[in-house]
Amino acid sequence: MTEHRPVKDTENTAARATPTLPDTQIVTEVEHYTDRLFRFRCTRPPSLRFRSGEFVMIGLMGDPDPETGKQKPLMRAYSIASPAWDDALEFYSIKVPDGPLTSKLQHVRPGDAIILRPKPVGTLVHDALLPGKRLWLFATGTGIAPFASLLREPQTYEDYDEVILTHTCREVGELTYGAQLIDAIRQDEMLAELIGESFADKLRYYPTTTREKSPKMGRITDLMRSGEVFADLGVGPLAQDTDRAMVCGNLAFNLEIKAMLEDYGLREGANSNPAEYVVEKAFLD
């Protein structure tokens, strides 16, 4: 069952709820997309500084130990889906019925507290790439989260002539978050004012599904091998001189597309050694 109505903080939840631990933040909005996917927003620590595309550790307290009664925090790496300039933090998550953390996290509501360790890290940042003309953002499932941050970052459009987001999911409903994101960006008056009215013309969106029927079906790697994605977008295959890429998805996808990017002549970069592509190893859908 798909739900699209966000539960928002309509009465200033953050003001009513006071964090009880140093790393506690308050949930301000929750939206469920499918029985497997949801997003939520929470307060942002005033001292938190991060680069769009990075991740932090978030979590909840676990159940009390049956013998000692003590509780331990359940923590997991989550890419920050909101841009570095946002005054709140957004996260996009899967729901795993028996998952140690997500089985609990999926039930949070505005006013609830979560634990956030304010030490952002990650490889999906502009600093890890050499200058180029076209930026490819390859995502599967919730791997779109860091790109939701980068696509709302003015530098992304200042650095590149063209930005292409590919998002592959199993079912159509799982593409909702990305589709809404793209629509919102294209209508974002603040970004238009900061970068220029035509900034949205640089943004290309290429969603695909692998199970449920949709306008474009197939794994993005297969569509790249066949050349279909390049024909659809009217661009040539990736080239070292012009193209840069960021990858975030499940482990099998990351390994497969990494090998493909190497075949195109692209080299893996890092914060300390920028190159033509980067892969987020710590965030696996």
What per-residue confidence (pLDDT) applies to 145? Answer: 96
Longest dimension (CA), the chain: 63
pLDDT tens figures, 29-68: 999 999 999 999 999 999 999 999 999 999 998 887 788 8
What per-residue confidence (pLDDT) applies to 22? Answer: 61
**Structure confidence at residue 98 as a pLDDT band (50, 70, 90):** confident
In the chain, the percentage of residues whose pLDDT exceeds 90 is 76
As a whole number of Å, the end-to-end CA separation of the chain is 21
Distance in angstroms (rounded) separating the CA atoms of residues 154 and 160:
11
Mean pLDDT of 253-272: 96
- Assess whether pLDDT exceeds 60 at residue 13: no
Mean pLDDT of 150-154: 95
- Assess whether pLDDT exceeds 90 at residue 15: no
- Assess whether pLDDT exceeds 70 at residue 25: yes
- Assess whether pLDDT exceeds 50 at residue 1: no
pLDDT tens figures, 82-97: 999 999 999 999 998 8
- Assess whether pLDDT exceeds 90 at residue 21: no
- Assess whether pLDDT exceeds 60 at residue 18: no
What per-residue confidence (pLDDT) applies to 19? Answer: 45
Q: Exposed, middle or buried by CB within 10 Å (0-12, 13-18, 19+), for 53?
A: buried
Alpha helix segments (H runs only) across 74-136 = 102-105
Mean pLDDT of 221-246: 97
Task: List own/partner pairs for 92-95 with CB under 8 A and 24 or more apart.
Answer: 92/37, 92/38, 92/39, 92/142, 92/144, 92/145, 92/148, 92/177, 93/37, 93/38, 93/39, 93/40, 93/142, 94/36, 94/37, 94/141, 94/142, 94/285, 95/35, 95/36, 95/37, 95/38
Bridge-based pairing of strands 243-248 and 277-279 is parallel
- Assess whether pLDDT exceeds 80 at residue 14: no
Where are the strands (E) in 122-279, listed by range? 134-140, 162-169, 203-209, 243-248, 277-279
- Assess whether pLDDT exceeds 50 at residue 158: yes
**Structure confidence at residue 70 as a pLDDT band (50, 70, 90):** confident
Distance in angstroms (rounded) separating the CA atoms of residues 195 and 9:
30
What per-residue confidence (pLDDT) applies to 282? Answer: 66
Mean pLDDT of 271-282: 91
Q: Exposed, middle or buried by CB within 10 Å (0-12, 13-18, 19+), for 198?
A: exposed
**Structure confidence at residue 8 as a pLDDT band (50, 70, 90):** low
Cα dihedral sign, 188-189-190-195: positive
What per-residue confidence (pLDDT) applies to 64? Answer: 79
Distance in angstroms (rounded) separating the CA atoms of residues 123 and 277:
10
- Assess whether pLDDT exceeds 80 at residue 2: no
